Structure formats: C-alpha cells, structure tokens
C-alpha cells in the first residue's frame, strides 16, 4: 500500500549490490537546487537507485553521463489540488471516482486511483513528476483525504496516502457559512473531548478500537496531518485562522483570492497558501481581490506560496503549471519563488520526498532546453525516481496518425 | 451548389397567399426592420499617434522590423520605415512589438459575467432545442469586469455567443471592447450577426435528459433539418409577398416569426453560422446539411477533431475556431492534439482561429497561440510569430465577416492596435497600450486609461 516505504527498502537492498546500481551523471547543467545552495552553473548531479547521491562531487564514476551543455535542470514540478487519476472524462460518470455523497472525514479515494489514465503521460509533458490528488467530497464540509502519486504510470505510483484532510469552508449555494464553522468546531471539540475522557478512563474502555474518523481527527488535533481549507473571503480566512489557533491545526489555505487583504495575518500565523496564478476575476462576492499580482504580493509579505492549476489546467492540463508560474513572474513574483511554488514549497507543506535537488533527495528531475516557464522551451529529459520516463502520450500518436502521409486509411497508421 | 427547390408545401402556401390578395388600393408594405437595436458606438476622440521603431506583426503573414505605424482619424494611416509624419503623440516602441488588436470569436462575457452568481446566468436559453429567436445582445451586461481584463490582454473585438444547450442557440453579437453603459455603445458597426448552432453531446444531454427530442445525435440532425425546411418555406412566403406587392397586387403579409427571421437571415447569406461542433464526422455532416438547404456552414467552434478533416474544412471554406489544449471534459473532447490549429492551418485556403470560450484565457490569446506554435514546431512544423498571430487577428476577423475593417496592420484599416512590451509569444509578455479606432483605451502605466466597471467601483 505505501509504495514509498517499499521503494526505500528496495533501494537499500539494491545499494548493497553494486551490480544493480547504475550511476547516471548529468554534467554541465544550470541547476536550480531550490535549497540554500541556490542556482549552480555548470554543475554535475549524480543519481543512483532513484536518489540524488551527489552534487558537484570531486570525481564522477558514472555508467551514463549526460552532458547538459548548459541547459537547465530543475526538480520535477508537483501538481496539486486536482483529481488526477480519479477522473478520465469529466462528463462520463463511470470514469469519475473523486467524490461520493457519503464522503466525509475518512474518505480515501486512493484505491480508485488509475495510474494508466491518459492524463498522466500528458501531465509529464509539463515536467510534472508528482501530484497531490484531492477528492471532491460529497455533502459534508469534510471532503476526504488527499494522497500523493508520482507520474510514472506504474501500478505502484501511489506514494503516500492520508496526506491531508480536505475541508470546504467557502460559501455554498444554500444555508449559511456560519453553519460550516459550527460543524467544523463541533467535530474537532468532540474528538478533543473523547481524547481527554479516554486518558481518564480505565484500561478496558480505553482499549476500544478508535474509528478511522477518530484516528484522522486525532492526527489533525496533534498537528500531524495538515488540514487544507478551501476558502476565499478575507473575513473567512481570519475565521479559519482562529480555528487553527484554537485547535493547533497544521493549516493550509487554498483558493484564497482575497488573501492579500490579510496577508500579514497569514504570514504571522505561518500558514502556507495554495493559489492559482491566473485567477483575476471577481468570480464571486468572496473573491473580489483576485489579481495576477497576488502571488508576488503574498510572497513579499512572507507567506509561503504554492501554485496550483486553474479550471481547465486542473488535472487534464497539468502541463500548463509551468506557464502559470511564468505569468506569476511577469506580474511580480520572484523567479526563484515561482520555481519553489511549483516544487519545493509543495514538497515541504505536504512532507514529500522531492521538489529539491540535494544529496539524498528522490531523483525526480527535469532537463529543460532553457527557462522552464517559457513557451519556446522544450522538456528534453525527465526522470521519475531516477528512471528516465517518456513524455509521449496518445495525443502524439493521434497527431502523427493525421499528419503522416499514407496510401492506407488513417486507421492503419499506428 | 444546389439551389433550393420549392417543396410541395411551399407551392401550396404560395397558392393560398395569392388567393388572399385583392386588387384594391395597396395597403402599406410590410417590411422587417433587420437592425432594430443599432450600434451607437462612437470612437473616442483621438488625435494622431505615431508609433516608431517597433517590430510589427501585420496579421497577414509579415513581420516588419524597425517599423513605424501612424494612427490618424481612427485609421491606420501609414505603415513603413522612418515615416516623416508629424503626430500629436509619438511613442518610441524600440524593443516593443505591435500587433493588430486581438479578436476573440468565442466569448460569453457579459452573458455569463463575473461574479458568476445565479442572477447573472444569461447565456443559455435552455427551454427548447430551437431558440433561434433569442439574441444574446439582449443579455449582455456591459459592466462585466471581464471586458476590462480582456482589454488589458489586447482584446479589441469579440463575438459574444449564446450557449450551446440548443441545436439553435440564438443570435450572436460582435462588440468593440470599449467601456460603455449600453450594449449598443459597444456594438461593432455593420458587423454581420451570427447564429449559434451546437452539435453533439450538449443538446442531446440537455433535452434527452428530459425525455424529449433530441435524445440522440440522429435526433440532433432531425431537429436541424426540420428547422431549415420550415425556414425555407418562410423565406419563400416572404419572397412571394414581396414579388406580389411589387407587381402592384395587394397581398397579406406572412405572419411574422422572430425565430424564423434568424434562420431566414442565414439562408439569405446575411447571418453567419457559428457552430459548436467537436467531432470530425459531425462537422462533415453539418457541411452536408448546409448544402441540403443551401447556406454556408460558417465557422466550427471547439473543433477538437478538426485536424482529422482539415482538407474538407478548407475545401468548403470553413473557419475552425479552436483551443490549444482543452480536452477530456466529455467524450467529444477526448481526441485533442495540441497541434490541432497548426494542422488545420497547414492546408491551403484554410482559416485556423484560436478562440477562448473563457473569461480567463481571453486575457492571453497570444499565449494560447504561443503554446500551439511552439508545440507544433517541436513536432516538426516551422511556424513563426507572423504565422501564429493570424489565428487571433486576421483569420478571426474573417470568421466574423469583418476582415475588411479590422484584423491586420494595414493602411486604411481601423486603428485597432496593441503595443506589447516584448515578443507577445513570450510567457512574460504584457500588452502596454491598446488602441481601438485610434483611441487609446488602455495604458498599463497610466490609470487614466484603466477602466473600472461599475460593479468593481468601491469594492476594493
């Protein structure tokens, strides 16, 4: 189930046997490490058994050496807040597994994840190597649990489950948002109560097996599991910050088109935000401050910014994330900040291995012809967990079929 | 092309009409006002502007370096090197790029405005499969903040379409993207009307879900055919009336039908078809349908599978208005290729257009075109900026029937112009100044030229 642990174990076993260890060195690259080491020119990165083993070692003994010729090496980018692998065609009900009326705190959609989805190779075209998949949920404000996958397309590509609890606190079509706060606080207070009672009770009663929901809420109350709250309006953001304070939550804010109004408070509370770089319309009365400059403004206020896709860029066009980052830069975000917003910041917030180029990190890497945010730039090579992965998708096969001359009907061109 | 052959019903109808007429003094002639909501658009007062040393993309396949453009009396007065002209304002555009104003042939701004609350959903008359009687201009809210955002992205002209729930969704309207408290104040003078049609999944889902026709794709086709047959009879009845009246007779006018007025406008060649149609086989059938009833099938919008029938579209003179990359939201959008526009464009006499159908990507149609150009070049095409710009300027104007007026940087055309801070096909590019009919309507560095909608006033 937890592939990541298995792969660590596997690499440990492989490492003990030099025969299996193929060493790849990428030399002469412009490396955005996204660590304190900054950006290195003409650098060498060595990977072995899925892990980055050295940067600029004194000497390199590699089985495969790739001369980057000054091209740009970045960590694989990380998608988030979408339904990758849970929805193939949005309008086809039988291909949708991201939501359920009965979904609640303990809704884990990861068993429904399809690593063979046609969206995954297409996502790789944008240099996306991992993705935080989130459920749609159902009738409850608790939408379920996020999980993390890589984009290898392998059957073991779920890396981590129970990554975060998703909560929707945005205005709904009916009822009052005040009821949502009541629901949220009562749920958390209820679990707090159980935990304190449990500590007082005798051994026999305390031994009663807790439910999945209770286990999750306990992890949330201990700050072990992040809580991602979808919210837009500034006053709602402040209200959610109060809930964080009251229960000691490990809070992540998502959506937050009005966040710039309360950026100091968000920074002070040390709460990261996930936003879309291209959201700039007042889509509702809760998001009147949506603007292309928001990513940069939040960054300058000291808020940790994560970028996720927007509407059609969601899961189907995950590849667009790098262009969104470019648009954020065009409107005032720092270049390094934008790189982090699509990689290391996401890894940090959701405790993933990846998103940085450093010794000991998982080898999710992308070699770009030039600036990864620019349209003219090509993705030249992509590694997921140290394996070089193809970026060909069925879209390429379709294009080739209809652009290749043949005497036979198109259906014979494969 | 096959001419319309009068059916037995039409002949019978004509006989009835002739039977009603008496020989007395003629009653007043009944005529239909084809323009009851006329444009009141007036270009903002403009002096002359000389833009110097720019890299100019003409929109018609040329890239001109170190070139000057003179805007005068609302028109592009001169384009050339080292113009000696004097102007009220001279802008040194060294290092900057100039393009025609960007045109989006597929927008719902104003009809589905921001904020997208219930009270604002005015784009889709989901009550009958044929609502050719509705005109989307009657739904446009000129205060939609999205118009201003689109102008900041260089959009000077846009077609507003009704939605795609119906076989016939209603009439479109083409607007100049100027701030105005009325729709008429934005209306592009003398632009032809469009008729929105929709193929495939939407009509059958909306009506089939209610257990009424169309329930299937064959039901869709049956619906179109019935409507065009009825429209042909209506057209014939009016022509009979006009002929009889001209002959000095005193006939009764046919009963006015607003729905059939629109379809007749298509048959008369005055209204252009804009057809939401994704799939190769459906586009081919819509072309045959147009031949059956003797009209032109116009522009196919969202043609995700246009690359499969690129030759057919070019042969028949259809424009194809396409996205770079939207896909997968329904089965008819599953076979996307990011090179779609480039493949369509590669055929002789083609008309490839990039459209948005989005209040967000309309702000960056240059980026949408850039994605296609670069993806296609990686797949072996050799497209340049001067090729890609056509998709969002000249070809778009052609799709709307306004290419004689706008869509290219050419002497005598309306001075709809964008100055970009760099190559507009860079992700970092931004429109700096936007002109419509020679009047500055947006300036990135001057708040005086940054319009704010009534809705946003005082909100932040």
pLDDT per residue over B373-420, tens digit each?
999 999 999 999 999 999 999 999 999 999 999 999 999 999 999 999
What is the model's pLDDT at position A409? Answer: 87
Are the C-beta atoms of residues B203 and B165 closer than 8 Å to each other? yes
Mutate to test the interface with A, among B337, B362, B424 (most CBs of A within 10 A): B337
CB neighbour class for B282 (10 Å; exposed up to 12, middle 13-18, buried from 19): buried
Q: Which residues of B touch A118 (CB under 8 A)?
A: 328
Residue-level pLDDT at A312: 65
- Identify the residue whose tokens are 């075109």: B369
Mean pLDDT of B313-339: 97
Distance CA B175, CA B436 (A): 12
pLDDT single digits (tens) A358-400: 999 999 999 999 999 999 999 999 999 999 999 999 999 999 9
User: Over 50: is that where the pLDDT of A7 sits?
Assistant: no
Tokens of A263: 């950026």
| Whole-number pLDDT of residue B442 | 98
For testing the chain A interface, which of B141, B328, B453 should be mutated: the one with the most A CBs within 10 Å?
B328
- Return the pLDDT at A3: 37
Write out the two tokens for A321.
Answer: 């994330």
Smallest Cβ–Cβ distance between B371 and the set A289, A327, A375 belongs to A375
Position B373 scores a pLDDT of 98
Which residues in chain A are closer than 8 Å to B380, comparing Cβ atoms? Answer: 403
Contacting residues for A32 by C-beta, under 8 A, at least 6 apart: A39, A72, A73, A74, A75, A336, A339, A357
Cα A241 to chain centroid distance, Å, stands at 22
Cross-chain residue pair A279–B360, CB shorter than 8 Å: yes
**Disruptive mutation site among A391, A403, A411 for chain B (greatest number of B CBs within 10 Å):** A403
**Which residues of chain B does A329 touch, with a Cβ-Cβ cutoff of 8 Å?**
428
Q: Is B178 helix (H, G, I), strand (E, B) or coil?
A: coil
Query: A-side interface with B, Cβ within 8 Å?
Result: 88-92, 118-119, 278-285, 288-289, 310-312, 316-317, 319-320, 323, 326-327, 329-330, 373-376, 378, 395-396, 398-399, 402-403, 410
Task: Give the mean pLDDT of B32-47.
Answer: 93
**Which residues does residue A130 pair with via DSSP β-bridges, in sequence order?**
A78, A150
Determine the Cα–Cα distance for residues A130 and A351; give it in Å rounded to an integer.
Answer: 12
Average pLDDT over residues A282-292: 96
The band of A59, judged by pLDDT with boundaries at 50, 70 and 90, is very high
- Choose the closest CB to A288 out of B339, B428, B460: B460
Mean pLDDT of A10-15: 42
Distance CA B24, CA B410 (A): 56
Residue B126 Cα, gap to closest chain A Cα (Å): 19
**Tell me, what's the pLDDT at B20?**
53
pLDDT(A11) > 70: no
Q: Is the dihedral of CA B157, B162, B165, B166 positive or negative?
A: negative
Residue A199 has what pLDDT?
74
Tell me if B329 and A282 make a contact (CB, 8 A cut-off): no
pLDDT attached to residue A14: 42
Q: How far is B318 from chain A (nearest CA, A)?
A: 19
- Over residues A61-67, the mean pLDDT reads 96
Residue owning tokens 């797949």: B379
Cβ-nearest to A323 among B358, B360, B427: B427
Residues of A in contact with B367 (CB under 8 A): 323, 327, 375
Count of CB pairs separated by less than 8 Å, A with B: 120
Quick check: ipTM above 0.85?
yes
Q: What is the mean pLDDT of residues A224-247?
A: 98
Give the distance from residue B331's alpha carbon to the nearest chain A alpha carbon, in angstroms: 7
Find which of A15-19, A174-178, A196-200, B5-9 is predicted with most confidence, using mean pLDDT.
A174-178
Q: Residue A349 has what pLDDT?
A: 98
Name the burial class of residue B452, with classes exposed (0-12), middle (13-18) and buried (19+) by CB atoms within 10 angstroms of its CB: middle
pLDDT digits (tens, 9 = 90+) for B271-304: 999 999 999 999 999 999 999 999 999 999 999 9
Dump the DSSP string for B38-107.
-----PPP---EEEEEEEEE-SSS-EEEEEEEEEETTEEEEEESS-----SEEEE-TT-EEEEPEEEEEE
How many angstroms separate the first and last alpha carbons of chain A? 36
Across the interface, which of A89, A283, A373 has its CB nearest the CB of B331? A89
Provide the pLDDT for residue B3. 42
- Chain A residues close to B459, C-beta within 8 Å: 282, 288
**Given a cut of 80, is residue A4 above it in pLDDT?**
no
pLDDT digits (tens, 9 = 90+) for B221-278: 999 999 999 999 999 999 999 999 999 999 999 999 999 999 999 999 999 999 999 9
Mean pLDDT lowest among A266-270, A376-380, B25-29? B25-29
**Summary mean pLDDT of chain A:** 93
For chain B, the average pLDDT equals: 95
Instruction: Tell me if A301 sits within 8 A of A353, measured CB to CB.
Output: no
Mean predicted confidence (pLDDT) in A271-281? 97
Q: Which of A334, A320, A333 is nearest to A372 (CA)?
A: A320
Give contacts of A281 with chain B, Cβ < 8 Å: 114, 145-146, 149, 359-360
pLDDT tens profile B3-16: 444 444 444 444 44
Residues B207-225 have a mean pLDDT of: 96
Q: What sign results for the dihedral spanned by CA atoms B169, B170, B175, B178? A: negative
Strands A305-307 and B49-57 turn out to be unpaired
For B335, residues 6+ apart whose C-beta sits below 8 A from its C-beta are A398, B304, B305, B308
Among B309, B378, B427, which would you mutate to test the A interface (most chain A Cβ atoms within 10 Å of its Cβ)? B427
CB B379 within 8 A of CB B339: yes
CA B441 to chain centre: 21
- Residue B290 sits at the vertex; the CA angle it makes with B285 and B296, to the nearest 5 degrees, is 125
Please check the confidence at residue B354 and state whether its pLDDT lies above 60: yes
Locate the DSSP E strands across A64-104.
64-67, 72-75, 77-82
Residues of chain B found within 8 Å of residue A399, distances taken between Cβ atoms: 307, 337-339, 343, 379
Nearest Cα of chain B lies from the Cα of A234 at a distance, in angstroms, of 12
Give the number of residues written for chain B: 460
Alpha carbons A356 and A347: distance in angstroms, whole number:
8
Question: Shortest Cα distance from A199 to chain B (angstroms)?
Answer: 49
| Alpha-carbon B116 to chain mean position | 23
Closest-CA distance, B37 to chain A, in angstroms, reads 29
Tokens 């609350």 -> residue: B117
């Amino acid at each position: 189930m937890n592939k990541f642990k298995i792969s660590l174990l596997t690499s440990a076993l492989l490492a003990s046997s030099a025969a299996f260890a193929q060493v790849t060195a990428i030399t002469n690259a412009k490396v955005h490490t996204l660590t304190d080491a900054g950006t290195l020119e003409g650098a060498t990165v060595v990977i072995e058994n899925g892990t980055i083993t050295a940067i600029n070692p004194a000497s390199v003994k590699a089985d495969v050496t790739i001369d980057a010729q000054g091209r740009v090496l970045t960590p694989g980018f990380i998608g988030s807040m979408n339904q990758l692998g849970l929805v193939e065609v949005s309008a086809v009900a039988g291909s949708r597994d991201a939501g359920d009326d009965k979904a609640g705190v303990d809704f884990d959609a990861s068993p429904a994840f399809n690593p063979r989805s046609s969206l995954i190779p297409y996502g790789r075209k944008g240099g996306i190597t991992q993705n935080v998949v989130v459920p749609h949920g159902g009738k409850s404000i608790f939408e379920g649990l996020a999980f993390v996958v890589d984009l290898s397309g392998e059957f073991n590509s779920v890396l981590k489950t129970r990554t975060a609890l998703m909560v929707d606190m945005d205005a709904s079509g009916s009822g009052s948002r005040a009821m949502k706060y009541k629901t949220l606080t009562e749920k958390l207070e209820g679990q707090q109560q159980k935990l304190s009672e449990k500590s007082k009770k005798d051994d026999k009663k305390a031994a009663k097996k807790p439910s999945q929901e209770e286990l999750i809420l306990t992890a949330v109350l201990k700050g072990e599991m992040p809580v991602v709250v979808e919210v837009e309006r500034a006053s709602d953001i402040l209200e959610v910050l109060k809930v964080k304070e009251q229960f000691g939550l490990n809070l992540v804010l998502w959506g937050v088109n009005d966040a710039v109004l309360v950026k100091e408070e968000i920074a002070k509370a040390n709460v990261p935000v996930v936003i879309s770089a291209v959201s700039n319309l007042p889509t509702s009365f809760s998001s009147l401050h949506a603007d292309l400059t928001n990513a940069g403004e939040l960054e300058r206020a000291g808020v940790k910014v994560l970028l996720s896709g927007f509407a059609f860029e969601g899961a189907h066009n995950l590849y667009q994330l790098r262009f969104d980052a470019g648009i954020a830069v065009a409107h005032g975000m720092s270049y390094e900040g934008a790189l982090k917003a699509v990689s290391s910041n996401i890894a940090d917030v959701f405790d993933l291995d990846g998103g940085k180029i450093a010794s000991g990190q998982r080898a999710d890497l992308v070699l770009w012809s030039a600036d990864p945010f620019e349209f003219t730039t090509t993705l030249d090579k992509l590694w997921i967990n140290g394996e070089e992965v193809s970026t060909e998708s069925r879209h390429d096969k379709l294009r080739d079929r209809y652009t290749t001359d043949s005497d036979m009907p198109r259906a014979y061109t494969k | 092309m096959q001419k319309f052959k009068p059916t037995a019903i039409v002949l019978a109808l004509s006989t009835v009409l002739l039977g009603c007429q008496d020989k007395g003094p003629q009653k007043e002639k009944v005529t239909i006002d084809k323009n009851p909501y006329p444009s009141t658009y007036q270009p903002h007062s403009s002096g002359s502007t000389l833009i110097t040393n720019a890299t100019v993309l003409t929109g018609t396949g040329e890239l001109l370096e170190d070139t000057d453009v003179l805007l005068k009396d609302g028109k592009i007065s001169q384009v050339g090197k080292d113009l000696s002209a004097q102007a009220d304002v001279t802008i040194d555009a060294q290092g900057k790029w100039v393009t025609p104003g960007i045109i989006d042939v597929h927008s719902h701004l104003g009809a589905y405005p921001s904020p997208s609350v219930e009270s604002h959903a005015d784009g889709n008359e989901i009550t009958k499969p044929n609502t050719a009687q509705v005109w989307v201009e009657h739904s446009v809210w000129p205060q939609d903040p999205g118009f201003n955002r689109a102008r900041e992205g260089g959009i000077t002209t846009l077609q507003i379409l009704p939605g795609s729930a119906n076989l016939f969704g209603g009439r479109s309207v083409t607007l100049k993207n100027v701030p105005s408290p009325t729709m008429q104040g934005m209306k592009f003078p003398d632009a032809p009307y469009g008729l929105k049609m929709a193929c495939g999944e939407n009509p059958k889902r909306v009506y089939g879900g209610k257990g009424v026709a169309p329930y299937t794709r064959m039901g869709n086709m049956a619906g179109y055919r019935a409507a065009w047959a009825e429209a042909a009879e209506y057209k014939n009845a009016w022509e009979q009336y006009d002929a009889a009246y001209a002959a000095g007779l005193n006939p009764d006018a046919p009963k006015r039908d607003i729905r059939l007025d629109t379809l007749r406008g298509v048959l008369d060649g005055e209204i252009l078809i804009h057809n939401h149609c994704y799939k190769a086989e459906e586009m081919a059938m819509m072309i045959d349908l147009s031949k059956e009833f003797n009209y032109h099938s116009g522009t196919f919008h969202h043609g995700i599978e246009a690359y499969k029938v690129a030759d057919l579209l070019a042969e028949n003179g259809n424009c194809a208005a396409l996205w770079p990359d939207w896909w997968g939201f329904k089965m008819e959008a599953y076979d996307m290729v990011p090179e779609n526009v480039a493949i369509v464009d590669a055929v002789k006499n083609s008309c490839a257009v990039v459209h948005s159908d989005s209040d967000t990507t309309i702000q960056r149609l240059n980026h949408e075109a850039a994605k296609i150009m670069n993806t296609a070049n990686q797949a072996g095409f050799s497209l340049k900026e001067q090729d890609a710009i056509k998709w969002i300027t000249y070809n778009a104007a052609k799709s709307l029937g306004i290419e004689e007026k706008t869509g290219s940087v050419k002497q005598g055309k309306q001075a709809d112009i964008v100055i970009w801070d760099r190559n507009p096909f860079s992700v970092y590019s931004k429109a700096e100044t936007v002109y419509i009919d020679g009047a500055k309507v947006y300036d990135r560095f001057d708040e005086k030229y940054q319009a704010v909608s009534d809705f946003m006033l005082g909100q932040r």
